[in-house]
Amino acid sequence: MQSRTSPTRAGRPRSAAADAAILAATRAALVELGWSKLTLGDVATRAGVAKTTLYRRWAGKNELVVDAVAELFDELRLPDRGSLAADIEGVVLQFAAILARPEAKSGLMAVVAESTRDEALRERIRASIVERQKRLVLEGRARAQARGELPLEEHPEEASRTADLIFDVVAGAVVHRTLFSAEPADEEWVRSFTRVLLTGLSSSTP
């Protein structure tokens, strides 16, 4: 006969599941509490884990939140809608949808704020969020070039700089719209943005 007090308490290796549980608990806490009221003690409780376990794996709140948020952006997919404009609209809408989620908004901006004073954190964000999603720009450009919508790049260095710039413009615009202007990046806005991005301000309005 077994002890009543340990119905599911079967032995050792929880270690593997713990990481996922902690990151999920972190996102849940971000939704409910926001970054500044999120506490590691609370995350540990939600994840059914001791505080010490948590500190064994992450240096602190910032690192934990970066990892928890980074996973969110891996859902992004570049759709094939037949034209560059439509592809951009599609991916920007996806990005806007993710940024509209409270755990993304609150967590992302906070760690970026923290990263201004923490070189290691800045690098962690760049590597696991920014660089990781830059693939979308590269794929999109390649596809547009294949379609003949964009000219082929000649100098690879120049190509890289341009990709970075486009990423800054696209991601920056959505972030600013969503968080600073506090307006939804909805279909209408995305259409207008895409037109400006592709044709510029100088072109006469249709």
Partner DNA sequence: CCGTAACCGAGACGGTACGTCACGTCTTGAG
Partner DNA sequence: CTCAAGACGTGACGTACCGTCTCGGTTACGG
Q: Pick between residue 16 and residue 201 the one whose CB is nearest to its own copies.
A: 201
Footprint on this chain of DNA (rule: CB under 7 A): 2-3, 6, 8-15, 18, 37-42, 48-53, 55-57, 60-61
Phi-psi region of 182 (alpha: psi -120 to 50; beta: other; left: phi over 0): left
Among 15, 39, 160, 199, binds its own copies (CB under 8 A): 199
The two tokens of residue 24 are: 């999920």
Distance of CA 202 to the CA centre of its chain: 32
Q: Could you tell me the smallest distance in angstroms from the CB atom of residue 151 to its own copies?
A: 6
Which stretch, 12-20, 51-59, 71-79, 191-199, contacts its own copies (CB under 8 A)? 191-199
CA 10 to chain centroid: 36
DSSP-assigned letters across all residues of 30-91: HHHH-TTT--HHHHHHHHT--HHHHHHH-SSHHHHHHHHHHHHHTT------SSHHHHHHHH
How crowded is residue 29: how many other Cβ atoms within 10 Å of its Cβ? 24
User: Phi/psi zone of residue 2: left (φ > 0), alpha (ψ -120 to 50 degrees), beta?
Assistant: beta
How many residues of this chain bind its own copies (CB under 8 A)?
A: 59
Interactions with its own copies, residue window 1-40 (CB under 8 A): 4-5, 34-36
Whats the size of the chain, residue-wise?
206
Say whether residue 161 binds its own copies (CB under 8 A). yes
Q: Which of residues 50-79 bind its own copies (CB under 8 A)?
A: none
CB of 116 to DNA, least distance (A): 17
Which residues of this protein are in contact with its own copies, per CB under 8 A? 4-5, 34-36, 84, 102, 105-106, 108-110, 112-117, 122, 125-126, 129-130, 149-151, 161-162, 164-169, 171-177, 179-183, 189, 192-193, 196-205
